[in-house]
Amino acid sequence: MTSLSLSTKFSLYPNSTFLQFQFPNRTQRISFPKKTQIACSATEQPKGQQKRPKKKKSVTDSEKGIDPVGFLTKFGISHKQFSQFLRERHKSLKDLTDEIFNRHIDLRDMASGFEILGIHRHPEHREDYMEWAPGARYCALVGDFNGWSPTENCAREGHFGHDDYGYWFIILEDKLRDGEKPDELYFQQYNYIDDYDKGDSGVPIEEIFKKANDEYWEPGEDRFIKNRYEIPAKLYEQIFGPNGPQTLEELEEIPDAETRYKAWKEQHKDDLPSNTPCYDVIDNGKEYDIFNVVLDPVSQEKFRAKKPPLAYWLETRKGRQAWLKKYSPCIPHGSKYRVYFNTPSGPLERVPAWATYVQPDAEGEQAFAIHWDPPPEYAYKWKNSRPKVPKSLRIYECHVGISGSEPKISSFSDFIEKVLPHVKEAGYNTIQLIGVIEHKDYFTVGYRATNLYAVSSRYGTPDDFKRLVDEAHGLGLLVFLDIVHSYSAADEMVGLSLFDGTNDCYFHTGKRGHHKYWGTRMFKYGDLDVLHFLLSNLNWWPTEYQIDGFHFHSLSSMMYTHNGFASFTGDLEEYCNQYVDKDALLYLILANEILHALHPDIITIAEDATFYPGLCEPTSQGGLGFDYCVNLSVSEMWSSFLETVPDHDWSMTKIVNTLMGNRKFADKTLVYAENHNQSISGGRSFAEILFGEIRDGSHDTEKLLLRGCSLHKMIRLITLTIGGRAYLNFMGNEFGHPERVEFPMPSNNFSFSLAKRRWDLLAKEGLHRNLFIFDKDLMNLDENERVLTRVLLSIHHVNDDNMVIAYLRGPLLFVFNFHPTDSYEGYRIGVEEAGEYQLVLNTDEIKYGGQGLIKDDQYLRKTISKRLVLTSLTPRLPLQYFLISVFYLCVHVLEFNSGYFLWFCPLCCSDILVLQRRWPPKLLRSAYAQ
């Protein structure tokens, strides 16, 4: 596999604790500052006595902004135990990086293991294979290329075969074709990329070398190069030869170097001029001076002007045509192979951990690695560049296998043809792929990954996946990958479990090495080689496949030894007690630091049900460095309301509080009404809940349909607009997919009937097309009005009795009525600025499946000035502080049976008036503080 390398220079400063990444146009630093101590004295300095001036310590720019508890100070959080934990974690991070630098040049080298591990083509007509298996005693590569022989291609004994860290190295020589002779030069190289270069010109190697010597060396310069032993031989003959001294007495005392050098100069003062370099001994007259031999300045300048004969060396490198004529590949493209180990437990065959293409056999009990090395003329070539990262993310979550309309596993090509155009039309700007990384069992949705460097062969080849990413980029879509580094499959025949015969290779031993409820294995994040594997995996996908971001799945499983299955009260002690895995936190910090340094535009999203403090805060301020974190409570709330709570009992206060989440981290929140969990993980989608009770011919069908359609639209719109900077939707949910997803498994007799999407519903007029049109207009609304990028709302009108919610986001006014039966006429909503408000989005419009009760002449409303005491503005503020004078928008809503409606109004900025504030500012600020 040809790997893509970054044209990046790295320099490690030995006297500082930061790693500097040098890019062509900018410099970024990963900072690991030294710990500073501040001494405080409670005693006063006696008069007349001056403090001795202390020498100021030089601090680099990268260290000035480091504060292990910075985000706690930012939010005014005071918790001694958690602060101490953050400081200890920062010290552990410094110790870890020091340990890394003892083994690796820099952090980029730490995260680029895929450049040397696995199988790679070497220019010297061979393939190199490297694997980490510290518990193995013997390593060989077996496959159909060598008849599955465990002895033909094996690692050599000693350090030529494996090092002290357990990395095995195997060289596989290309095979000579019949009638061909081996190359005369053992270091003969071939250019495998181009079809032709100078090496195919037919010029003999001897002629190239002679040309290099004749043109590079001047007469006399190569005398001592060709005759290296001339001077030592003469010196030996002079001292120990037949005419030299025979005893120590005859040898006498040997003069010092300066005396002998001057004597030699006097002896050869009449020699003819020579092109050989001239040297002189310079003595500075110091006792400790060792006579310095200095090159003549003229000769030195002449030597520096010379250029090495690289041009001649390149002429010895032959092209691909010459290699194809003389050799056949040791492992042909498409060959099946595995790695063979001899362990204390006996012989084992495993799929290589760094394999880039893996395919299960027909029975599904074993898998093979596929050597993917297509000829250059057939390898995929990128056409489109990566799109710019948008200010707001509208993510369309997809599963390739169930993306088709037919009951089968869809391919990457099917996805490109059918789904990508739909995503573009729907107005989303990002796709997030789940289940792409190779996994054994299809019904696990891909979360029990077995081979972290391979795309699933169920959907196509690595080049097919490259084409998918390339086509998405061509449509202006970012491509995110759902990455699972929080656990791994426990399958011993395919995955990493017992990889080298030992139980502690990649995973913890004992109970800690197994997930308490899911039966998966837990990585050993404190091991450098495991970090090397995982960090390199994160770097692999953006480098090889140009992935734009990662969704880190189920961080709770890795950050706690109880795997997140514990009750959390919100006390910070729960995030720093004995159940917290500090090694996992250090891995996440390194992952974000390295990813953002090597790929500055990459996006990382954290999925953590425990809302770990500082998820999205900078690592320099004590955070973990993610760009977004998922508010998992939102989908759970909506699902609970729809399935267990009657319509009249819905709490508007709970809706607002859940959607807003923790306001301190709202700028980094990703929200969704429902994702794949509601339709894949054994649950029902919202559409199945809302429309599943509708029966044809029932007198309640029309009423239930209107209720379900209204709630489906309102839930999505309030979720997108009320909180967060990013929005996510699972494939098909935008048009109310009527069926849940059920993967083929023994319980359903391996049926594919529900493992698909009903795209045919969009071609028909009716409910599902109406819902899609609304969702499309909702996405366009964010694109045109920048809803997600607006300043987060701060004032709400929340009335649990009337079940009305109203709020402002920027100049945009949103009004919701969740009451199942009551409508309101003349309902007054406070706004911050006066003017004309125009209705631009109404869920009750006919094209969205509504009744169209609001007429065109009611789309424009003007504010009026009126003073009153608000019955409810926000559940967080005392009501007595809201005797105010503001401008109100009088919203006239006609009564209709369902009672579900929404008005969305952008503010017209003409005739803006200053608000008259009648309350003490300090009192208001104190109210907000409460």
Q: What is the pLDDT of residues 558-570, one digit of tens each?
A: 999 999 888 888 8
Burial class (CB in 10 A: 0-12, 13-18, 19+), 268: exposed
Inside any domain, residue 746:
no
Q: Which CATH number covers residue 874?
A: 2.60.40.1180
pLDDT at position 213: 77
Active site includes 607?
Answer: yes
Q: Residue 127 is part of which domain span?
A: 112-188+224-337
From residue 803, how far is each of 165, 236, 812 by CA, in Å? 65, 106, 20
Instruction: Decide which of 291, 311, 337 is a domain's last residue.
Output: 337
pLDDT at 461 over 50: yes
Structure tokens at 32: 């690991």
The whole-angstrom separation of Cα 46 and Cα 797 is 62
Contact at 8 Å (CB) between 606 and 557? no
Q: Pick the residue with more confidence: 872 or 773?
A: 773
Contact at 8 Å (CB) between 430 and 439? no
Strand order in the sheet with 18-22: 9-12, 18-22, 27-31
Burial class (CB in 10 A: 0-12, 13-18, 19+), 776: middle
Q: Which of 47-61, 437-451, 540-554, 694-708 is the most confident on average?
A: 540-554
| Residue 586: half-sphere exposure toward Cβ, Cα within 13 Å | 24
Interval 365-374 mean pLDDT: 88
Contact at 8 Å (CB) between 716 and 775? yes
pLDDT at position 866: 64
Of 611, 491, 630, residue with least CA distance to 550: 630
pLDDT at position 225: 62
pLDDT at position 918: 27
The whole-angstrom separation of Cα 738 and Cα 732 is 9
Interval 876-897 mean pLDDT: 29
Q: Pick the residue with more confidence: 884 or 812?
A: 812
Q: Pick the residue with more confidence: 873 or 139?
A: 139
Least trusted range by pLDDT, from 36-45, 421-430, 463-472 = 36-45
What percentage of the chain exceeds 70 in pLDDT? 78
pLDDT at position 265: 80
- Categorize the per-residue pLDDT at 345 as very low, low, confident or very high, splitting at 50, 70 and 90: confident
Inside any domain, residue 174:
yes
CA 42 to chain centre: 49
Of 517, 518, 521, 515, residue with least CA distance to 496: 521
Q: Pick the residue with more confidence: 259 or 734?
A: 734
Angle at 919 between CA 916 and CA 920, to 5 degrees: 120
The whole-angstrom separation of Cα 125 and Cα 171 is 10
- Categorize the per-residue pLDDT at 413 as very low, low, confident or very high, splitting at 50, 70 and 90: very high
Q: Which of 172-181, 356-365, 820-829 is the most confident on average?
A: 172-181
Inside any domain, residue 22:
no
Least trusted range by pLDDT, from 17-31, 337-351, 508-522, 744-758 = 17-31
The whole-angstrom separation of Cα 776 and Cα 720 is 13
Q: Taking the CB of residue 771, how many other CB atoms lie within 10 A of it?
A: 25
Q: What SS3 string covers 571-620?
A: CHHHHCCCCECHHHHHHHHHHHHHHHHHCCCCEEEECCCCCCCCCCCCHH
Interval 486-508 mean pLDDT: 89
Contact at 8 Å (CB) between 707 and 686? no
Pairing relationship of beta strands 901-906 and 812-817 according to DSSP bridges:
antiparallel
**How many domains in the chain?**
2
Average model confidence (pLDDT) across the chain: 80
Contact at 8 Å (CB) between 839 and 781? no
Instruction: Decide which of 274, 303, 337 is a domain's last residue.
Output: 337
pLDDT at 407 over 60: yes
Q: Is 322 helix (H, G, I), strand (E, B) or coil?
A: helix
Query: Which backbone phi and psi does 674 adopt, to 5 degrees?
Result: -155, 140
Inside any domain, residue 286:
yes
Interval 693-705 mean pLDDT: 67
The whole-angstrom separation of Cα 675 and Cα 630 is 11
* Location of structure tokens 């030069």: 185
| pLDDT tens-place string over residues 84-128 | 999 999 999 999 999 999 999 999 999 999 999 999 999 999 999
pLDDT at position 757: 92
Interval 288-315 mean pLDDT: 72
Q: Pick the residue with more confidence: 897 or 324?
A: 324
Structure tokens at 288: 């400790």
What percentage of the chain exceeds 90 in pLDDT? 45
pLDDT at 880 over 90: no
Structure tokens at 491: 């399958």
Inside any domain, residue 804:
yes
Instruction: Decide which of 293, 318, 337 is a domain's last residue.
Output: 337
Contact at 8 Å (CB) between 350 and 338? yes
Of 442, 533, 455, residue with least CA distance to 489: 442
Structure tokens at 330: 């040791």
The whole-angstrom separation of Cα 316 and Cα 325 is 16
pLDDT at 201 over 90: no
Question: What Rg do the C-alpha atoms of the chain give, in angstroms?
Answer: 36
Contact at 8 Å (CB) between 476 and 387? yes
* Element counts in the chain: helices (H) and strands (E): 23, 36
- Categorize the per-residue pLDDT at 916 as very low, low, confident or very high, splitting at 50, 70 and 90: very low
The whole-angstrom separation of Cα 376 and Cα 361 is 28
Structure tokens at 185: 């030069």
Interval 401-420 mean pLDDT: 94
pLDDT at 626 over 70: yes
pLDDT at 62 over 60: no
Q: Is 303 helix (H, G, I), strand (E, B) or coil?
A: helix
The whole-angstrom separation of Cα 36 and Cα 91 is 11
Inside any domain, residue 277:
yes
| pLDDT tens-place string over residues 751-785 | 888 889 999 999 989 899 999 999 999 999 999 98
The whole-angstrom separation of Cα 806 and Cα 817 is 9
Contact at 8 Å (CB) between 626 and 483? no
From residue 384, how far is each of 216, 381, 550, 885 by CA, in Å? 45, 10, 20, 56
The one-letter amino acid code at 9 reads: K
Cβ neighbors of 525 (< 8 A, separation 6 or more) are: 531, 534, 558, 581, 583, 584, 586, 587
pLDDT at position 131: 96
Q: Where do the DSSP E strands lie in 459-591? A: 478-483, 549-552
Cβ neighbors of 219 (< 8 A, separation 6 or more) are: 275
pTM of the model: 0.81
Inside any domain, residue 816:
yes
Of 571, 148, 126, residue with least CA distance to 340: 148
Interval 875-880 mean pLDDT: 28
Contact at 8 Å (CB) between 750 and 744? yes
Q: Taking the CB of residue 465, how many other CB atoms lie within 10 A of it?
A: 23
Q: Pick the residue with more confidence: 404 or 279?
A: 404
Of 451, 553, 456, residue with least CA distance to 497: 451
From residue 748, how far is each of 400, 676, 752, 755 by CA, in Å? 21, 20, 9, 11
The whole-angstrom separation of Cα 279 and Cα 300 is 10
In this structure, what DSSP letter does residue 624 have?
Answer: -
Q: Pick the residue with more confidence: 198 or 808?
A: 808
The distance in angstroms from the start CA to the end CA of the chain is 60
pLDDT at position 64: 55
| pLDDT tens-place string over residues 140-183 | 999 999 999 999 999 988 878 888 899 999 999 999 999 999 88
Handedness of CA 916, 918, 919, 922 (dihedral sign): positive
pLDDT at position 676: 77
Interval 780-805 mean pLDDT: 86
Inside any domain, residue 295:
yes
Structure tokens at 501: 């015969």
Q: What is the DSSP string of 651-674?
A: -HHHHHHHHH--GGGGGGEEE-S-
- Categorize the per-residue pLDDT at 285 as very low, low, confident or very high, splitting at 50, 70 and 90: low
**DSSP H stretches of helix in 600-759:** 633-644, 652-660, 686-691, 701-722
Q: Pick the residue with more confidence: 379 or 60?
A: 379
Element holding 89 (H helix, E strand): helix 80-101
pLDDT at position 650: 95
Catalytic residue among 471, 607, 734, 785: 607
Q: Which of 12-21, 146-155, 500-509 is the most confident on average?
A: 146-155
pLDDT at position 1: 40
pLDDT at position 794: 64
Greatest CA separation for the chain: 129
Q: Taking the CB of residue 750, how many other CB atoms lie within 10 A of it?
A: 12
The whole-angstrom separation of Cα 915 and Cα 804 is 24
- Categorize the per-residue pLDDT at 925 as very low, low, confident or very high, splitting at 50, 70 and 90: very low
pLDDT at position 196: 58
The whole-angstrom separation of Cα 853 and Cα 859 is 12
Q: Pick the residue with more confidence: 3 or 686?
A: 686
pLDDT at position 320: 86
pLDDT at position 415: 97
